[in-house]
Amino acid sequence: MSDTAYLQQIAQSDYKYGFETDIEVEKAPPGLSEEVIHYISDRRGEPDWMREWRLRAFRYFMSLLERYEETYPRWAHLKYPDIDFQAISYYAAPQRKPRYKSLDEVDPKILETFRKLGIPLDEQMRLAGVAVDAVMDSVSVATTFKEELAKHGIIFCSMGEAIENYPELVKKYLGSVVPYTDNFFAALNSAVFSDGSFVYVPKGVRCPMELSTYFRINTAGTGQFERTLIIADEGSYVSYLEGCTAPMRDEHQLHAAVVELIALKDAEIKYSTVQNWYPGDAEGKGGVYNFVTKRGICLGENSKISWTQLETGSAITWKYPSVILKGDNSVGEFYSVAFTKGYQQADTGTKMIHLGRNTRSTIISKGIAAGYSNNSYRGLVKVARTADNARNFSQCDSMLLGDKCGAHTFPYLEIENPTAQVEHEATTSKIGEDQIFYCQQRGLSEETAIKLIVNGFCKEVLAQLPMEFAMEAQKLLAIELEGSVG
Amino acid sequence: MALLEIRNLHARVEEKEILKGVNLTVNAGEVHAIMGPNGSGKSTLASVLAGREDYEVTEGEVLYDGKNLLEMEPDERAREGVFLAFQYPVELPGVNMATFLREALKAIREHRGLPPLSPAEFMKLLKEKAALVGLDPSLKQRSVNEGFSGGEKKRSEIFQLAMLEPRLAILDETDSGLDIDALRAVADGVNKLRSPDRAFVIITHYQRLLNYIVPDYVHVMVDGRIVRSGDKSLALELEEKGYDWIKEEVGLVA
């Protein structure tokens, strides 16, 4: 099928979250140096152990930067100019207080920002029964529902507060799943990370509500480097959702986050992402570079970690939410929809590392490419010698909207145990002219037809999102497919 | 005014001319059968009427309710009341049949200036029409045509016809690949949907279907033209003598 007018429009549709909030910010001078690390630690009022941790990561990162040509990860199917790490400001915070005691202290403009984004931090969210942590640039501006959660012994706060109030938990688990030596961007994040969320769910507690963090890059010339750590103690359950947006800017902004999940015996963590960072304009100018390391470990027996992601934003996405299946009988899942249009490039997938016996993993990935975009799935299934009777099922489907985009699948299998059962299915299809015609013959416009077909294609994955967000996700996907400009 | 008026219609796919001057008039309430050997252009005619892009009309005109049908987009034709029961219905994985029909009905009703049905009204209609055409109720919970057997697909087309209530229904070889029970069920559905406001154009290779759906007119298409028209007895004659005698008569030696 040649690109129809509608499919061409998809490539050019507008980004609805591109406004900028005019607030006073305090910003670190651009560039990386030991002074900058001290500056960040000082501003955040961190204890010495945290400062030392950062400095170790910083020195390691600088050693990588010195050997940039060898150390920079270039294996992904992505094309972009080199990033100037000395041109970025590594810390920006809304002026006023370093930490807010209540919503009343938060700059009304910030509250308005989140309201515009559909994330009201007040009464409405209370009614919806979702606890939210909102992070603007480098600082958490509000965490709702704290008292309610505290009744159950659940800790949900910004990373800054966790370092101050729960140092033993942070010391024990920070970097335990993603050490700073893990990769280039993990090293950078470990040195300069700012707020992200911290969650601890005690033994046997089923978290009574969805926990959610909303990330927003606002200030120009800054990167965002949040760090999230979630610990589910024995027999506990938590469902967590993150959303992200950024203003439209001509320059590229760097986002390099690290997320670590730890599930102890019989615990379950469900982590959902709706990633909608600014993707750049129709010509490929601007947009967020999204280099994220997300990994969970099923540390105890019978534990489970499930990643679900809807990736629609960013100019570049480099992201592989993974699970280390260490406990016997543990379960890892990865459900992903990646939609790219315009000149977006996504290289995303997962790693399932089977170490324990009877471990099971499922990978369902749906890539949709429109415009001039490139959409790659990259996934590793590793079954170690110790992992008797490990099972994996992978299904990776790609759909092309138009004929100038690309879809690619890079599956890697490393099987060291003969009892493993590993299945991989992959399909690539062009959205069928026949399918669109069939829908049109029933009275549906081409636009509605494409929305229905794409939604149907993603159904298995969207169904994994928590109820409250599944509708949001469908709407977001519909907006992304919107033909009309404005 | 006729519901459908086809005048000297010529159409080609790529460089090959398939329709070479089709003339046909269909009035509301009538059932027309178009028969003919393989490759005579029957399915092309159906596709051209529905607006499939692969076909280029090079000459002639088609009036639908007095309007120029060929100028309309495929979805507009559908909303105006033209329905095609496909010979090979495509699968729409993950698209729930009920959702699909709700969207389609909404679009059609909006076009006719009607508000959308409430969810309760819609579910009631769905149930009624499924019963009318004898559709297995589980089919409407499933994805459109996904994993349906040949017979289920055809029955689902008739079910959609019942739901969308078109004024002109074109059945493109709906009988092909059906066993006798499925054929009877499909014909039974169609008979229930006959009405004074609705016309059917039934394209078929075999006379068999016409034992169950009795047409008002039978047309024989050969080499891109309708070469003979008559009543239902023409279909029986064709069954008995095959198509060759007609080809000979019109000077196209077999």
Per-residue pLDDT tens digits for A161-198: 899 999 999 999 999 999 999 999 999 999 999 878 89
pLDDT per residue as tens digits for the range A219-239: 656 678 889 999 999 999 999
pLDDT on residue A370: 87
Sequence spans of domains, chain B: 4-249
Say yes or no: B48 contacts chain A, CB-CB below 8 A: no
pLDDT on residue A97: 46
pLDDT higher at B62 or A454? B62
- A 10 A CB-CB count for B59 gives 14
Q: B144 to chain A nearest CA, in Å?
A: 10
pLDDT per residue as tens digits for the range A349-369: 999 999 999 999 999 999 999
Would you list the DSSP string of B156-188? HHHHHHHHH--SEEEEESTTTT--HHHHHHHHH
pLDDT on residue B254: 45
Dist. CA A123–CA B231, nearest whole Å: 73
Dist. CA B51–CA B83, nearest whole Å: 11
Probe site for chain A from B90, B161, B164 (most A CB atoms < 10 A): B90
Phi (first) and psi of residue A60, to 5 degrees: -65, -45
* Amino acid occupying residue B81: G
CB A321 within 8 A of CB A307: yes
User: Which segment, A89-98, A114-123, A321-330, A446-455, is predicted with the most confidence on average?
Assistant: A321-330
pLDDT per residue as tens digits for the range A377-424: 999 999 999 999 999 999 999 998 888 889 999 999 999 999 999 999
Probe site for chain B from A337, A437, A474 (most B CB atoms < 10 A): A437
Residue A23: which pLDDT band, with cuts at 50, 70 and 90?
low
- A 10 A CB-CB count for A389 gives 16
pLDDT on residue A9: 56
Environment class of B16 (CB within 10 Å of its CB; exposed 0-12, middle 13-18, buried 19+): exposed
CB B198 within 8 A of CB B168: yes
Would you list the DSSP string of A294-340? EEEEE-STT-EEEEEEEE---SEEEE--EEEE-STT-EEEEEEEEEE
pLDDT per residue as tens digits for the range A281-338: 777 788 888 999 999 999 999 999 999 998 888 888 999 999 999 999 999 999 999 9
Say yes or no: A2 contacts chain B, CB-CB below 8 A: no
pLDDT per residue as tens digits for the range A114-135: 665 555 555 444 444 456 666 6
The superfamily (CATH) of domain B4-249 is P-loop containing nucleotide triphosphate hydrolases (3.40.50.300)
In this complex, the residue of B74, B83, B96 whose CB is nearest that of residue A437 is B74
Lowest mean pLDDT among A88-92, A224-228, B148-152: A88-92
Dist. CA B225–CA B24, nearest whole Å: 10
In this complex, the residue of A432, A441, A452 whose CB is nearest that of residue B78 is A441
Predicted ipTM of the assembly: 0.95
Burial A111-130 (b: 16+ CB within 10 A, else e): bebbeebebbbeeebeeeeb
pLDDT on residue A104: 59
Percentage of residues in chain A having pLDDT higher than 70: 78
Dist. CA A337–CA A457, nearest whole Å: 9
- A 10 A CB-CB count for A469 gives 22
Sequence spans of domains, chain A: 4-482
CB A477 within 8 A of CB A275: no
- From chain B, pick out residues whose CB is under 8 angstroms from the CB of A471: none
- A297 dihedral zone (left: phi>0; alpha: psi -120 to 50; beta): beta
Residue A84, pLDDT above cutoff 90: no
Tell me the average pLDDT of chain A: 83
pLDDT on residue A477: 74
The model carries a pTM of 0.81
The contacts of residue B194 (CB under 8 Å, 6+ apart) are B31, B200
Dist. CA B119–CA B245, nearest whole Å: 55
pLDDT on residue A420: 95
Probe site for chain B from A395, A440, A448 (most B CB atoms < 10 A): A440
Mean pLDDT of A251-264: 90
CB B102 within 8 A of CB B186: no
pLDDT on residue A485: 24
Residue A18: which pLDDT band, with cuts at 50, 70 and 90?
low
Phi (first) and psi of residue B208, to 5 degrees: -40, -50
Residue A27: which pLDDT band, with cuts at 50, 70 and 90?
confident
